[in-house]
Amino acid sequence: MQQYFINRKTCVGSIEELDKDTLYHLIKVLRKNNKYIFRIVDSDKNVFYAHLINNYQCEITESLNENNELDTDITCILSLIKNDKMELCIQKLVELGVKRIVPYKSVRSVIKVKDNKKKERLEKIVKEAAEQSHRNIIPKVCDYADLKDLNKYLSEKNYICYESEKNIAEIEKSKSITYIIGPEGGFEDKEYQKICEMGFESVSLGKRILRAETAALYMTSIIVGKCQ
Ligand code: SAM
């Protein structure tokens, strides 16, 4: 069932105005009418059923007691990789349950970012993936980060995925976990050292060298498996 977010609290019986993207999607793309029931998630993460009452408003008809969020807050610091791969990876990270994505301007990232336009595009992808996967929140896309910014994103447990590491990632259940994935060319040695000094534990994802996007999805799956 289709889901949309609204950025305010609501309750059963309320009439809510929908934003233009939501209306466009419901009416023009899906060609739905007043009979169609969809999900609305409000700013308090509450889920409701709703239906259109005209071409710009819906009525909230039923409250669902539903929490699809993980107990663990996962932050993925993802080095900038080629745009299409970055976008697909972020979409999948949201489906898997990640709460925060930090696009990281790693020393060897070939992709360079000048303005926030790309962040807006990532936010759109995140929102649509959150709707599609019935999340209770829209995960946050943080500002593009440099090495010096990474300590802002430390969690209870912190990992750097490093292909030359021998210790296989053994993830302990915790309230919050941050992990870092390097770019196509991997981490530069000094960069890797500095990240470890910040408190990130170096872990291996096995003997094979994974593409950055595979590594991010694999690491998230391991965490979700432990922390579901
Ligand atoms: N430096 C490598 C090279 O060019 O052969 C590859 C880097 S890999 C494509 C991109 C990132 O994925 C790495 O920086 C690391 O974070 C992660 N990664 C890939 N395979 C991994 C593994 N087996 N264990 C841990 N991390 C891995």
What is the residue with the minimal CA distance to atom 19 of ligand 1? Answer: 210
Pocket of ligand 1 (CB under 6 A): 161-163, 181-182, 184-187, 204-206, 208-212, 215
CA distance linking residue 50 with residue 10, whole number of Å? 11
- Residue 71 backbone dihedrals phi, psi, to 5 degrees: -75, -25
Quick one: pLDDT at residue 81? 95
User: Which atom of ligand 1 lies at the shortest distance from residue 160's CA?
Assistant: 16
**Is 138 in contact with 127 (CB distance < 8 Å)?**
yes
DSSP for 49-73? EEEESSSSEEEEEEEE------SSE
Short-list 90, 66, 72, CA closest to 80: 90
What is the residue with the minimal CA distance to atom 12 of ligand 1? Answer: 212
Write out pLDDT tens, residues 159-199.
999 999 988 878 888 999 999 999 999 999 999 999 999 99
Instruction: Return the best residue to mutate from 209, 213, 214 for the ligand 1 pocket (most ligand atoms within 8 A of CB).
Output: 209
Strand partners, 178: 75, 158
146 Cα–ligand 1 center, Å? 19
What is the residue with the minimal CA distance to atom 14 of ligand 1? Answer: 182
Write out pLDDT tens, residues 76-133.
999 999 999 999 999 999 999 999 999 999 999 988 887 777 899 999 999 999 999 9
Count, residues in the chain: 228
170 Cα–ligand 1 center, Å? 17
Q: What does the pLDDT average to over 23-40? A: 93
